[in-house]
A and B are shown apart, each in its own frame.
Chain A
Amino acid sequence: MTSARNESRRPHLQQLGEWWNSLPRTRQWLVLIPVVLLIYALPVLNPPILSTEPGTNFPIACFNAARFALIALGLNVVVGQAGLLDLGYVGFFAVGAYVAALFTSPDSALAKLPYLVTLPLAMVITMFFGVVLGTPTLRLRGDYLAIVTLGFGEIVRLLATIVPPLKGQVGFQEVGHPPGRLPDGSLIFASSNGTPWYWLVVTLTIAMLMLVGNLERSRVGRAWVAIREDEDAAQIMGVPTFKFKLWAFAIGAAIGGLSGALFAGEVGFVNNQKFDVPTSVLFLAAVVLGGSGNKVGVLLGAFVVSYVPDRFTELANYKYLIFGLALIILMIFRPQGLLGARQRLLAKGREAYQRLIGRPEQVSSESALAAESAKGVGA
């Protein structure tokens, strides 16, 4: 899998990784805080190199990128960490968006809830959907799972079309938003105003990054990676594989639902047109492009997938073609994505390695997809 060519092309990236790895945690924070501040300031700064205007309003483009980042983070739990190919992720995104719409839009017959309440509600409900879909399908081999989830994504869209209260193409207007008005009386969270929405999504993404990071550095994350690497061996080493696959699915679904609800709030309108399977493949492209199994990688991938069509609007019509081709080319020449899989699986790992051998663990950028899991047991 790793050709010598790849090895020689990697060094500076690897050096960067090693440098970062060797920094004490306090100094890592010193680097991280300004970076995060810069990310928050992005829509206000609107730097000319990055600006997507006049094609796309820059704060909106930032919001889109952040939304993709959140989605990619959730899908990465499923695809990158647990190694389950979920092609129907858009289905969970759609469920989240519909939850927000149904409970806040005046077009819905349901009780009205404050928008911010629908965010956790959307997570809970999509989690439920994840469990319902996962329970029968997660015992299956990986490629069956892929096609079943693909079907699921499409079914959610079809149901939105044919089940009357979901209002098909008419959809729901005036989906809610967080409260608050500016001094001049206009809404803070207006659809036209991307910046506050961007801040909200970035904040939630950082929160999710931390929570997902906590899981990664625990028996849950180790179980996921073990399943990805060799499911049979994982089971024999005492990992309840089905249970943890279901958890990966449910957690991925919940994050998908959250981003769906955020999307519904920002756009303010939900109908059945926005949740097609191509969108799902775009999500997958974000994860695979950046480096499945690498949190920084998938954020980068999400940025590329969202930013390129916004910046180069003349390419927007070609985006599916471009990312479809990118998937093929990537799989043939660099299946690990821009950055390879990278996970820390121990809560006190740094200290442990330091104590034992006096240096941090090996940095590597190999593929999460490189795991061979189709081997037979004990042949």
Chain B
Amino acid sequence: MSQETGLQEVPDEAGEEHVQVEGGIVAELERMTPEERAEHEAEVAEVVAPDREIAVGFGETLLELREVTVRFGGLVALDAVSFGIRRGEILGLIGPNGAGKTTCFNAMTGVYRPTSGQVLLEDRPLGRRKRHQITRLGIARTFQNIRLFGEMTALENVVVGTDARHRTSVLGALLRGPRHRREEAEAVERAMALLEFVGIADRAADKARNLPYGYQRRLEIARALATEPKLLCLDEPAAGFNPAEKEQLMGLIRKIRDDGYTVLLIEHDMRLVMGVTDRIVVLEFGKKIAEGLPAEIRDNPAVIAAYLGVPDDGAA
């Protein structure tokens, strides 16, 4: 990760004396000229950008579901679903309520194990890996019903995400070894940039549960990005947003992709899905009924039948 972030380097010792600006970076940003601000944002994006090797090239299949079936007792929640997510794209996963979208997410992130079929990341099956191992491999997610660590500050929440890639041992932390110091410094650096990136830096020091709803949604995204995922899965990130907030969110999702991430998006709002995704997969009753570009999906009779008029909304 680059250390030259443009955020002022403050010496470790007696840091307080060096804070020149009342209100910190956030306040300083208010006073910047547009050019300065653009420069600053580019620096932030630079820090946020993922810094890890990915075995597949841009446009190649990053994650693949192969005939994935998930069964709960007699209920088939996912029935032999196959599709791929290409590196660098924004893939929309849509479908009516109960179509199996979240189940699909859960099967990918290790919350459920597929009854049959495989999930492959970079052509390697996830197999029986544990949830935290899958996160380390590079799949991160947000939750439909927000699940932040309420007693931690926003910044701390994000740093928990960065910890997924840290290797400090308990002994190292106990004795404050060099790796611990380095990782802590990097983590805070990156977490601060992430908060700026998603636009909630002004409340970095507040406990997560005291944040407004929109901030909590964004904080979930920042926390997931902190794990430097190869694939970011967003589970209805716009739930409860008003149109203006949805617009901002679309901007954020595009910005995330432009920063080098691959995004899988579950969303109900057709307008948002059509507006931001590169391709769309449609599920109904646990089966894939369509896959294609947004324009194709919009005109697909099966999808229209499944949604009964919702595409009109999307076309509006």
Direct A/B contact, Cβ within 8 angstroms: yes
Q: What is A's interface to B at a CB cutoff of 8 Å?
A: 24-26, 211, 214-215, 217-223, 225-226, 228-230, 232-241, 247, 251, 293, 341, 343, 345-362, 364, 366, 368, 370-371, 375, 377-379
Report B-chain residues with C-beta under 8 Å of the C-beta of A341: 151
With contacts A214-B174, A215-B170 taken as known, whether A223 is within 8 angstroms of B202 at the C-beta atoms is: no
Which single residue of chain A is at the shortest CB-CB distance from B137?
Answer: A238
The interface bits of chain B over 181-222 (1 if a CB of A lies within 8 angstroms of the residue's CB, else 0) are 101110110011001000001101111001000000000000
Q: Are A225 and B152 in contact (CB under 8 A)?
A: yes
Can you list 22 residue pairs at the A/B interface with Cβ under 8 Å? Answer: A219-B183, A220-B173, A221-B173, A235-B131, A237-B223, A347-B185, A351-B15, A352-B191, A352-B192, A355-B7, A355-B25, A356-B204, A357-B26, A357-B202, A358-B19, A358-B22, A358-B23, A359-B24, A361-B205, A362-B210, A377-B111, A378-B235
Q: Are B149 and A346 in contact (CB under 8 A)?
A: no
Q: Are B159 and A345 in contact (CB under 8 A)?
A: yes
Report B-chain residues with C-beta under 8 Å of the C-beta of A357: 23-27, 201-202, 204-205
Q: With A and B bound together, what is the CA distance between A28 and B158 in angstroms?
A: 28
Q: What is B's interface to A at a CB cutoff of 8 Å?
A: 7-8, 10, 12, 14-17, 19, 21-27, 102, 105-106, 109-111, 130-132, 135-136, 140-141, 143-145, 147-153, 155-156, 159-161, 163-166, 168, 170, 173-176, 180-181, 183-185, 187-188, 191-192, 195, 201-202, 204-207, 210, 223-224, 227, 235
With contacts A236-B141, A247-B170, A358-B24 taken as known, whether A353 is within 8 angstroms of B204 at the C-beta atoms is: yes
Q: With A and B bound together, what is the CA distance between A234 and B210 in angstroms?
A: 19
Point out the residue from A217, A240, A241, A378 that lies within 8 Å of B106, measured CB to CB.
Answer: A378
Q: With A and B bound together, what is the CA distance between A101 and B168 in angstroms?
A: 36
Q: Are A379 and B135 in contact (CB under 8 A)?
A: no
Q: Are A359 and B152 in contact (CB under 8 A)?
A: no
Q: Are B131 and A361 in contact (CB under 8 A)?
A: no
Report B-chain residues with C-beta under 8 Å of the C-beta of A217: 184
Which single residue of chain A is at the shortest CB-CB distance from B165?
Answer: A238
Q: Counting chain B CB atoms within 10 Å of each CB, which of A26, A348, A378 scores highest?
A: A378
Q: Are A362 and B153 in contact (CB under 8 A)?
A: yes
Report B-chain residues with C-beta under 8 Å of the C-beta of A293: 151
Report A-chain residues with C-beta under 8 Å of the C-beta of B152: 222, 225-226, 229, 345
Q: Are B8 and A375 in contact (CB under 8 A)?
A: no
Which single residue of chain B is at the shortest CB-CB distance from A233?
Answer: B147
B301 to chain A minimum Cβ distance, whole angstroms, is 31
Q: With A and B bound together, what is the CA distance between A228 and B149 in angstroms?
A: 9
Q: With A and B bound together, what is the CA distance between A191 and B26 in angstroms?
A: 59
Q: Counting chain A CB atoms within 10 Å of each CB, which of B19, B152, B183, B185 scores highest?
A: B152
B223 to chain A minimum Cβ distance, whole angstroms, is 6
Point out the residue from A219, A232, A364 that lies within 8 Å of B166, measured CB to CB.
Answer: A219
Q: Are A233 and B132 in contact (CB under 8 A)?
A: no
Q: Are B206 and A362 in contact (CB under 8 A)?
A: yes
Report A-chain residues with C-beta under 8 Å of the C-beta of B224: 237
Point out the residue from A215, A228, A237 that lies within 8 Å of B164, measured CB to CB.
Answer: A237
Report A-chain residues with C-beta under 8 Å of the C-beta of B160: 222-223, 226, 234, 237, 239
Q: Are B205 and A360 in contact (CB under 8 A)?
A: yes
Q: Are B151 and A238 in contact (CB under 8 A)?
A: no
Report B-chain residues with C-beta under 8 Å of the C-beta of A377: 106, 111
Q: Are A214 and B173 in contact (CB under 8 A)?
A: yes
Report B-chain residues with C-beta under 8 Å of the C-beta of A214: 173-176
Report B-chain residues with C-beta under 8 Å of the C-beta of A219: 163, 166, 168, 173, 183
Q: Are A350 and B174 in contact (CB under 8 A)?
A: no
Q: Are A355 and B176 in contact (CB under 8 A)?
A: no
A16 to chain B minimum Cβ distance, whole angstroms, is 18
A83 to chain B minimum Cβ distance, whole angstroms, is 10
Q: With A and B bound together, what is the CA distance between A367 and B188 in angstroms?
A: 26
Q: With A and B bound together, what is the CA distance between A332 and B136 in angstroms?
A: 41
Report A-chain residues with C-beta under 8 Å of the C-beta of B27: 357-358
Report B-chain residues with C-beta under 8 Å of the C-beta of A346: 155-156, 159, 184, 187-188
With contacts A219-B163, A347-B181 taken as known, whether A379 is within 8 angstroms of B210 at the C-beta atoms is: no
B255 to chain A minimum Cβ distance, whole angstroms, is 20
Q: Are A349 and B164 in contact (CB under 8 A)?
A: no
Q: Are B163 and A222 in contact (CB under 8 A)?
A: yes
Point out the residue from A235, A350, A353, A358 that lies within 8 Å of B21, measured CB to CB.
Answer: A358
With contacts A240-B132, A355-B7, A362-B206 taken as known, whether A226 is within 8 angstroms of B149 at the C-beta atoms is: yes
Report B-chain residues with C-beta under 8 Å of the C-beta of A235: 130-132
Q: Are B15 and A237 in contact (CB under 8 A)?
A: no
Report A-chain residues with C-beta under 8 Å of the C-beta of B183: 219
Q: With A and B bound together, what is the CA distance between A226 and B164 in angstroms?
A: 12
Point out the residue from A24, A221, A238 that lies within 8 Å of B227, measured CB to CB.
Answer: A238
